[in-house]
Amino acid sequence: MANRPIAPHLQIWKWGPHMAVSILHRITGDGLALVGLGVLLWWLGAMAAGPDAYATFEAVMGSPLGMVVLVGLSWAFFTHMMSGLRHFVLDIGAGYELDTNKTWSILAPVIGILLTAGFWALVLLK
pLDDT in tens, 63-84: 999 999 999 999 999 999 999 9
pTM: 0.86
> Of the candidates 15, 14, 18, 13, which has an alpha carbon nearest to the alpha carbon of residue 108?
18
Give the per-residue pLDDT at 1: 56
Known binding-site residue numbers:
80
Give the per-residue pLDDT at 60: 98
Average pLDDT over residues 100-111: 95
Q: How far is CA 31 from CA 1, 74, 76, 91, 119, in A?
A: 42, 11, 7, 23, 19
DSSP state letters, 106-125: HHHHHHHHHHHHHHHHHHHH
> Of the candidates 72, 75, 87, which has an alpha carbon nearest to the alpha carbon of residue 21?
87
pLDDT in tens, 6-58: 666 666 777 889 889 999 999 999 999 999 999 999 999 999 999 999 999 99
Q: How far apart are CA 80 and CA 54, in angstroms?
A: 29
Known binding-site residue numbers for heme:
80
Give the per-residue pLDDT at 3: 73
Query: Which fold, 17-125?
Result: 3 helical TM bundles of succinate and fumarate reductases (1.20.1300)
At 87, give phi and psi (nearest 5°): -65, -35
Distance from CA of residue 28 to its chain's centroid?
Answer: 3
pLDDT, the chain, mean: 92
The pLDDT of residue 96 is above 90: no
